[in-house]
Amino acid sequence: MRRFVMKGNICYSNDNKELCVIENGYVVSEDGICQGVYEQLPEKYQMIPCYDYTDRLIIPGFTDLHVHAPQYSFRGLGMDLELLDWLNTHTFVEEAKYQELAYAEKAYDIFADDMRKSATTRACVFGTIHNEATLLLMEKLEEAGIKGFVGKVNMDRNSPDYLCEASAAQSAKDTEEWIKASKQFENIRPILTPRFIPTCTDELMEELSDLQKKYDLPMQSHLSENFGEIAWVQELCPDTSFYGEAYNKYGMFGNDCKTIMAHCVHSTEDEIKMMKDQGVFIAHCPESNTNLSSGVAPIRKYLDMGMKIGLGSDVAAGSTLSMFTAMSMAIQCSKLRWRLSDQELKPLNIEEVFYLATRGGGEFFGKVGTFEKGYEFDAVVLDDSSLRHPQELIVKERLERMIYLADDRNVVAKFVNGKSVPRDKDGDETAIFGGNQ
């Protein structure tokens, strides 16, 4: 049995309205499961090892519900373009390179290493159409200590010849082979990944629907991100009244198919109702939506409706893997929507975005994203001593500053499912053992 205590300033969410703070308290992990948070350590835990992070911040690991691993190599480029032009100018050209395994090895080494050093513990990741490269990505994330899902992308139409699968049947065959091969991994699991409706024929969606039912897989894709994209889907799918129906008619829009839809910036009332009723997760990607001029999603409305929401970095339309950036931009974008568009939708606050980055997105992975008893023990330790200040700050204020000012250099330790993740690929545990009194 693997048991330990962590001591420090513990911050976590019970819900999206309250930030729980226990100053120099204790959180206990037993076989990767949280056993609760305590102001005073119970006697039964006083003799087990303690990671002593006195006065540092201990938070649940962040969850990234939407990131494109092959795009990490060109983050920060093409940000003057809108979505469809950006895809054709930068994205497709880069993703075609992953047919060469040597290139994929070099690129995914960088991506996985930076994921290891980040405050992210769980992620839902897009690969490319290439089986070998996608399996390589899964292997590197497994080695990096991340838990989550990786998808081999499907696209058999409206794509350049160099990045378009030969047929729906071939795409499905390759996908099934990849699903079977991915069983070798313990912490990284497969997720069906039709890129988006414009690049997937009806025949391919039918094939993927069959695979979803056969292997009981979750699904991830994009939804209502951009006006041009929405109009294109309506043209391609005249039998649907809104974008989400183009997924729903194949049984891949929540209900028995656990689903993440990225963006949902311009979803109609009917689409929102279907997402709510069928339990579709929304991956809110505020930096991406800003960079590609897509708009600002009505996250206040979604939260108030009790919908399932988390945050996504959406690299490379987002410029960084940092969920600190995703949180701060979620607040900033909500302020712009409130001020310029809809003053009935109040801006998001610190409690809400912290919830989205932890417990909100964590729900997609099960009991993940908080320190309540019975949840999987994902934790990140933050050292804010480099953010100098003359005044006394309470712990909540220190966390708030971290959301706006921190980067991965402030991460001093990370645990995923109770296991320490070294900062370096070949490193050892860096946590500090000490007394637990």
50-60 and 379-382 as β-strands: parallel, antiparallel, unpaired?
Answer: antiparallel
Do residues 280 and 201 share a domain? yes
Q: What is the pLDDT of residues 361-417, one digit of tens each?
A: 999 999 999 999 999 999 999 999 999 999 999 999 999 999 999 888 999 999 999
What percent of the chain stands above pLDDT 90?
A: 94
Report d(CA 157, CA 176) in Å as an integer: 19
Q: What is the mean pLDDT of residues 160-167?
A: 97
Q: What is the pLDDT of residues 186-211, one digit of tens each?
A: 999 999 999 999 999 999 999 999 99
Residues whose CB falls within 8 Å of the CB of residue 393, separated by 6 or more in sequence, listed in order: 401
Mean pLDDT over each residue of the chain, to the nearest integer: 96
pLDDT beyond 90 at 271: yes
pLDDT beyond 60 at 39: yes
**Token match 């373009």: residue?**
81
Do residues 50 and 176 share a domain? no
Do residues 407 and 378 share a domain? yes
pLDDT beyond 80 at 174: yes
pLDDT (0 to 100) of residue 433: 43
Instruction: Show which of 310, 344, 365 is a domain's final residue.
Output: 365
Q: pLDDT band for position 423 (50/70/90)?
A: confident
Do residues 230 and 309 share a domain? yes
Do residues 405 and 277 share a domain? no
Instruction: Show which of 310, 330, 365 is a domain's final residue.
Output: 365
Tokens for 227, please give them. Answer: 């006006």
CATH of the domain at 282: 3.20.20.140
What percent of the chain stands above pLDDT 70?
A: 97
Helix pair 168-181, 202-215: axis angle to 10 deg: 20
Supply φ then ψ for residue 129, to 5 degrees.
Answer: -75, -5
CATH of the domain at 397: 2.30.40.10
Q: What is the pLDDT of residues 208-257, one digit of tens each?
A: 999 999 999 999 999 999 999 999 999 999 999 999 999 999 999 999 99
Compute the residue count for the chain: 437
Distance spanning both ends of the chain, measured CA to CA: 22
Q: In what order do the strands lie in the sheet with 62-68?
A: 62-68, 120-126, 147-151, 188-190
Q: Look up the pTM and report it.
A: 0.96
Q: In this predicted model, which residue has the larger pLDDT, 1 or 276?
A: 276
Residues whose CB falls within 8 Å of the CB of residue 286, separated by 6 or more in sequence, listed in order: 296, 297, 311, 326, 329, 330, 332, 333
pLDDT beyond 90 at 432: no
Q: pLDDT band for position 425 (50/70/90)?
A: confident
Q: Other CB atoms closer than 10 Å to residue 340's CB: what's the count?
A: 9
Report d(CA 39, CA 42) in Å as an integer: 9
How many distinct structural domains can be found in the chain?
2
Do residues 37 and 162 share a domain? no
Q: pLDDT band for position 427 (50/70/90)?
A: low
Do residues 399 and 351 share a domain? no
Q: What is the mean pLDDT of residues 57-73?
A: 98
pLDDT (0 to 100) of residue 282: 98
pLDDT (0 to 100) of residue 42: 96
Report d(CA 309, CA 71) in Å as an integer: 23
Q: What is the pLDDT of residues 116-155, one digit of tens each?
A: 999 999 999 999 999 999 999 999 999 999 999 999 999 9
Do residues 19 and 130 share a domain? no
pLDDT (0 to 100) of residue 287: 97
What 3-state DSSP class applies to 432? coil
Do 76 and 320 contact (CB within 8 A), yes or no? Answer: no
Do residues 130 and 187 share a domain? yes
Task: For residue 78, count CB atoms less than 10 angstroms from its CB and return exposed for 0-12, middle for 13-18, buried for 19 or more.
Answer: middle
Tokens for 365, please give them. Answer: 């992975």
What DSSP character marks residue 416?
A: E
Domain housing 222: 62-365
Q: What is the pLDDT of residues 94-115, one digit of tens each?
A: 999 999 999 999 999 999 999 9
Report d(CA 361, CA 123) in Å as an integer: 9
Report d(CA 48, CA 23) in Å as an integer: 21
147-151 and 153-154 as β-strands: parallel, antiparallel, unpaired?
Answer: unpaired
User: Which of 135, 134, 149, 203 is CA-nearest to residue 171?
Assistant: 203
Q: pLDDT band for position 437 (50/70/90)?
A: very low
pLDDT (0 to 100) of residue 428: 55
pLDDT (0 to 100) of residue 435: 47
Report d(CA 2, CA 32) in Å as an integer: 8
CA 240 to chain centre: 29
Angle at 200 between CA 269 and CA 291, to 5 degrees: 60
Instruction: Show which of 365, 384, 417 is a domain's final residue.
Output: 365
Identity at 416, one-letter amino acid code = V
User: Which of 64, 71, 146 is CA-nearest to residue 107?
Assistant: 71
